[in-house]
Amino acid sequence: MSVLCSRQIRLKTRPAGIPAADHFELVECDMPAPGIGEILCKTLYLSLDPYMRGQISGRHISGTIDPGDLMRGETVSEVVVSNSPDFEAGELVCHYGGWQTYSLTTAEGVSRVDARLRPASLALGIMGMPGLTAYAGLFYLAEVKPRDVVLVSAASGAVGSLVGQMAKIQGCRVIGIAGSEEKCAWLRQVAGFDGCINYKTQPLSDALRQECPDGVDVYFDNVGGAILDAAMDQLAIGARVVLCGLMAQYNTDNVLPGPTPATIIRSRATVRGLVVYDHFDKQQEFLDRVLPWLEAGKIKYREDVSCGLAQAPAAFARLMQGRNFGKTIIKVA
């Protein structure tokens, strides 16, 4: 193998509030050499996800990223050198390769990318971890039923857009909450949502009463904060609420309180917390069930792709500002 250098993006300083590109630094380092049982992977696509902000704050269950640490993240990578019997050079794999051009790993935690996924970056988005999040939340935690009124926040994101489209396929009425007219238009016109509320321009409680006059049966929450409060006020009797993300809180030092318990009591709601790590055993079931919908054109998706590892900090800052539109992907190689 020729002497190559690898590039990494590390956390430089811990941001207060929304991160900016200069909270990160690009570092060149020696190409890692695979030892016994190890695999050297070349990063093709890197996934940027909101939960990373929690890792930077030390408030995510998957652990903390400190200044000086390599930024962690899921990647689609090509095996370059394999000293493992489980993988061969040239195979496409999915693993937590991090924000770097090359990564070294053992076979543990590495999975092959399903050959049906084109582009392979789908393995990071609606057919990957965010997709499994949507699937487990909607079918296992919310126990969605036909004719449910389903409300989802951060609706144009990878999780939210799949939640809504799967609910439509189940025969639900689906309302999204998103942060721009462009996103709302896409959700209504392309993704087939029955309605979409732009929370930046519409009074949310009024809009919810108008869009969901008989109440919300399933609320899939990706944000917390004021949007969660407003949604809880509009729950139907017997509603199911999936708490999945806390975008409203990621960029603050404060811990935002939750909705008043009275909303849960009054609606006899069932509120559940979702951590996708609990549901990895459903990955194959998820693929087998949802991929045919994608292949049949019943599920639309958007990717927000930036080219080059060096773009990752700026793309992450945009994601944290809600200025992404679709799944945030860095095309690394």
Binding site for a copy of itself (CB under 8 A): 59, 61, 221, 224, 228, 243-244, 246, 249, 255-262, 264-275, 278
CA 75 – CA 331 distance, rounded (Å): 10
Task: Between 1 and 255, name the residue whose CB sits nearer to a copy of itself.
Answer: 255
The CA distances from residue 245 to 153, 154, 160, in Å, are: 10, 9, 11
We find the least distance from the C-beta atom of residue 249 to a copy of itself, in angstroms, to be: 7
We find the least distance from the C-beta atom of residue 317 to a copy of itself, in angstroms, to be: 23
Query: For residues 77 and 10, is the Cβ–Cβ distance under 8 A?
Result: no
We find the least distance from the C-beta atom of residue 21 to a copy of itself, in angstroms, to be: 27
We find the least distance from the C-beta atom of residue 224 to a copy of itself, in angstroms, to be: 5
Task: Between 206 and 278, name the residue whose CB sits nearer to a copy of itself.
Answer: 278
- Which residue in 332, 326, 331, 270 sits closest to 158, CA to CA? 326
HSE of 271 in the Cβ direction (CA atoms, 13 Å)?
A: 19
- Which residue in 43, 39, 44, 97 sits closest to 70, CA to CA? 97
We find the least distance from the C-beta atom of residue 228 to a copy of itself, in angstroms, to be: 7
Task: Between 153 and 306, name the residue whose CB sits nearer to a copy of itself.
Answer: 153
Q: List b or e across 249-261, with b for residues whose CB sees 16 or more CB atoms inside 10 angstroms.
A: bbbeeeeeeebee
Task: Between 210 and 260, name the residue whose CB sits nearer to a copy of itself.
Answer: 260
Task: Between 144 and 274, name the residue whose CB sits nearer to a copy of itself.
Answer: 274
DSSP string, 284-330: HHHHHHHHHHHHTT-----EEEEESGGGHHHHHHHHHTT---SEEEE
Residue 120 phi/psi, 5-degree rounding, is -65, -20
CA 309 – CA 156 distance, rounded (Å): 24
Sequence-distant (6+) residues with CB within 8 A of 113 are 76, 92, 93, 94, 120, 123
We find the least distance from the C-beta atom of residue 13 to a copy of itself, in angstroms, to be: 24
CA 333 – CA 330 distance, rounded (Å): 9
Task: Between 176 and 224, name the residue whose CB sits nearer to a copy of itself.
Answer: 224
We find the least distance from the C-beta atom of residue 266 to a copy of itself, in angstroms, to be: 6
We find the least distance from the C-beta atom of residue 286 to a copy of itself, in angstroms, to be: 18
Task: Between 201 and 260, name the residue whose CB sits nearer to a copy of itself.
Answer: 260
HSE of 105 in the Cβ direction (CA atoms, 13 Å)?
A: 25
Task: Between 61 and 115, name the residue whose CB sits nearer to a copy of itself.
Answer: 61
